[in-house]
């Protein structure tokens, strides 16, 4: 067996080096993994937690950081009744170690030489794999035009808000919709993403954008179907479903 074929198959205890609060409900956990083989923007890792009684729970989390050395970042939204995310958000500390395997996937990945334009559509923490693409685009000074449409519950719930503001311009457009809650004076979108919003915000079908859609399953299905109805080619649309909440 060729060595590279085995990458990502084994569980490895990985060191938590830093934890950053992104919003009241989401944290970014940085790991340092000395033999990390590198990843592609859009890939994910599996996280496995084992309780003292042997019960194991596994979840997949997208990598939010651009490929850069041995450090990777996962952004985790806290799901109230989840098995895994409350532990990751509330109990995990720098210096702790948890089991990861990866990088995994390749279908929902983007490389700068694939070009674009990119139309990135996310709900909540679904923005994580798209942020890896946006960060990679910036790090490589890619000239690919990109548009992010991000739906968040409120202004305070916008993940990576300040970094997205900084990276905007130079071909990157960021559009927020806030639902159900908006700050005073908000003039932007304040409804769930729909076909009309996608048509107004994103590149036209004639530009043949590469669309990456990430979030809870009902959101992803709605956006993917709306893009096809607007005339976008299904083979340019990639989706990542988180299930009902993301767990």
Q: Whole-number minimum distance, CB 131 to other proteins, in Å?
A: 17
How many CB atoms sit inside 10 A of residue 243's CB?
12
**231 or 244: whose CB is closer to other proteins?**
244
Residue with tokens 């990135």: 120
> How far apart are the C-alpha atoms of 43 and 108, rounded to whole Å?
7
- If one asks whether residue 232 binds other proteins (CB under 8 A), the answer comes out as no
- CB–CB of 79/85 below 8 Å? yes
- If one asks whether residue 106 binds other proteins (CB under 8 A), the answer comes out as yes
- If one asks whether residue 67 binds other proteins (CB under 8 A), the answer comes out as no
The phi, psi pair for 61, rounded to 5°, reads: -130, 135
Which one of 154, 182, 217, 230 is in contact with other proteins (CB under 8 A)? 217
> How far apart are the C-alpha atoms of 21 and 26, rounded to whole Å?
6
Which one of 1, 3, 185, 187 is in contact with other proteins (CB under 8 A)? 1
- If one asks whether residue 6 binds other proteins (CB under 8 A), the answer comes out as yes
17 CB burial (10 A radius; 0-12, 13-18, 19+): middle
Which one of 52, 93, 95, 107 is in contact with other proteins (CB under 8 A)? 107
> How far apart are the C-alpha atoms of 193 and 145, rounded to whole Å?
21
Residues within window 22-51 making contact with other proteins, judged by CB under 8 A = 44, 46
Residues that bind other proteins in the complex, under the rule CB under 8 A? 1-2, 5-6, 8-9, 44, 46, 58, 60, 101-102, 104-108, 216-218, 221, 238-244
């Amino acid at each position: 067996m060729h060595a590279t074929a085995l990458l990502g198959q084994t569980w490895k205890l990985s060191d938590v080096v830093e934890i950053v609060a992104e919003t009241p409900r989401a944290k970014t956990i940085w790991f340092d993994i000395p033999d990390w083989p590198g990843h592609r923007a859009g890939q994910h890792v599996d996280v496995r937690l084992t309780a003292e009684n042997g019960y194991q729970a596994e979840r997949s989390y997208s990598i939010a950081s651009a490929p850069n050395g041995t450090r990777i970042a996962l952004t985790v939204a806290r799901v109230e009744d989840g098995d895994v995310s409350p532990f990751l958000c509330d109990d995990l500390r720098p210096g702790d170690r948890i089991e990861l395997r990866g990088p995994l996937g390749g279908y929902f990945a983007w490389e700068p030489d694939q070009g674009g334009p990119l139309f990135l559509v996310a709900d909540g923490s679904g923005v994580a794999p798209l942020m890896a693409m946006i960060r990679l685009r910036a790090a490589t000074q890619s000239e690919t035009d990109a548009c992010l449409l991000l739906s968040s519950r409120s202004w305070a719930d916008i993940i990576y808000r300040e970094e997205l503001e900084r990276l905007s311009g130079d071909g990157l457009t960021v559009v927020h919709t806030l639902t159900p809650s908006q700050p005073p004076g908000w003039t932007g979108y304040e409804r769930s993403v729909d076909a009309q919003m996608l048509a107004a915000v994103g590149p036209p079908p004639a530009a043949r954008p590469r669309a990456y859609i990430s979030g809870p399953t009902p959101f992803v299905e709605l956006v993917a179907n709306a893009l096809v109805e607007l005339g976008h080619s299904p083979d340019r649309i990639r989706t990542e479903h988180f299930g009902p909440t993301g767990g």
